[in-house]
Structures are given as C-alpha cells and as structure tokens.
Amino acid sequence: MLLEKTTRMNFLFDFYQALLTEKQRSYMELYYLDDHSLGEIAESYEISRQAVYDNIRRTEAMLEEYEDKLRLLEKFQQRQVILAQLTEAIKDDSAQTEARLALIEMLKESD
C-alpha cells in the first residue's frame, strides 16, 4: 500500500508540480523523490517536523483534487494500456488491420 501511494504521488507530482508553490515542490521532492524523512526536511528548513508533515499532507490533498478535476494521470494510464494493446496487435501478424485502426482511434479519443 505504501509503495502504491508513493508511486501515485510521484506521478501526480510529475503532472501537477507546476501548480504548486516553490515550498510545496521542495518538500514533495525531498520527501517522495529523494526519500528524506520528515525530521531531515524539518532540520534543513529549521521548522518543526509537524509543520513539514502538515504541508506534505495538504499538498497531497491538493494533488488529488487536481487529478479529480483534470484527470491527467487517468488519461495517461489509459493511453499506456492502449499502447500496450496496439504493440501486441502489431507484433501479432494475424491481427486484423481493423483491430489496429480501432486501437489507434481509442488513442485519439483518450485525449
């Protein structure tokens, strides 16, 4: 569960980091990308561990709200599935051209 949350937060951060403040970006990068502890982040910014924790939790909630509204991660994941199917259809010489074209249309519609 923890790894799934970390992976999701990393993806959401990739998609929406431009919408965050510099401080939010910095805390999220240190916590999720660089794997720093709350204490290490607090020490480097000379603030309390609780302040870092609160900021990270609020930022996570903001990222989830952005995803609820914009669906960038969801659309990315859908495209990845369709691309995998298309790749398999291309590898399979017996796959019909219609199936390949249908997958390409699905990709076009996913945006």
Please tell me the predicted confidence (pLDDT) of residue 63. 98
* Residues 57 and 83 reside in one and the same domain: no
Query: DSSP secondary-structure letter at 29?
Result: I
Sign of the torsion angle spanned by Cα atoms 80, 86, 88, 90: negative
Residue 56 and residue 15 share a domain: yes
What pLDDT shows up at residue 94?
65
Alpha carbons 69 and 14: distance in angstroms, whole number: 16
Shared domain for 6 and 44, answered yes or no, is yes
Residues 41 and 80 in one domain: no
Distance separating alpha carbons of residues 83 and 6, to the nearest angstrom: 24
Same domain, 14 and 60: yes
- End-to-end Cα distance, the chain: 29
Mean pLDDT of each 10-residue bin along the chain, 111 residues long: 90 97 97 96 97 98 98 93 82 71 79 62
DSSP 8-state class, residue 19: G
CA dist list (Å): 78 to 87, 101, 109: 14, 17, 11
Which structural domain range is residue 33 located in? 2-70
Q: In the chain, how many domains are there?
A: 2
> What is the per-residue pLDDT for 4?
93
Same domain, 86 and 47: no
Nearest 5°: the CA angle 67, 70, 56 is 30
Specify whether 62 is located in the same domain as 89: no
